[in-house]
Amino acid sequence: MIRVALLGVCGLGLAAFAIAQNETESESTDLETLLFGEDEGEDLTPTQNRTYRQHDTVTLRALDKITGRSTDFDMIVGEPKVYGSLRVDLDTCFQTPPEEPPESAAFLRITSATSKQVQTMAEPRDLTPEELEESESEDADIRFSGWMFASSPGLSALEHPVYDIWVIACSAVDPSVLNPAAANE
């Protein structure tokens, strides 16, 4: 009797494993379809020949999980910002043109800010040249380094107990903002 019960339990375990394996395979197919697209019965092709244009700025949304406050802010390539206890660096940002399905992808490096860099927890701020020089010599605790996609924020996300940061969209820098004197002339 015990052998029969043991065989029944083992059989249920193997059946559950087989079902879980099939679900995992279907989830990976859905993920591959999301990332690479699907052509009517053909093999998966990378993003169906989408064209990406490189831009200078990105709009990010940051969430403070403690207060529930979200903040949108713009970043320019090469100009890091401090948000809360995090330092965010933007390396590059790509966006699809308007005639294609919308997608923005940014390569971000998010590290822990030093205690000297943290001045306000509510608003993102630019680093001063002195802070940039000091931070170059220090080893930072890397929290995230990689591509973030606007259409799939959970695909490659920052894992932090207090803050969430994700990409909203890439855009080009408005020349009048960079050089206001030229716009007035």
Q: What share of the chain is helix, strand, coil (3-state, %, to 5)?
A: 30, 30, 35
Q: How many helices (H) and strands (E) does the chain have?
A: 4, 9
Q: Which stretch of DSSP H or E encloses residue 53?
A: strand 53-55
To 5 degrees, how large is the angle CA 159–CA 74–CA 161?
A: 15
Q: How far apart are CA 34 and CA 151, in angstroms?
A: 10
pLDDT tens by residue, the chain, 185 residues:
454 443 444 444 444 444 444 444 444 344 344 444 544 444 434 445 678 889 999 999 999 999 999 999 999 999 999 888 888 999 999 999 888 888 999 999 999 877 666 766 667 878 777 777 776 766 778 899 999 999 988 888 888 899 999 999 998 766 665 555 554 54
Q: Is 143 left (phi over 0), alpha (psi -120 to 50) or beta?
A: alpha
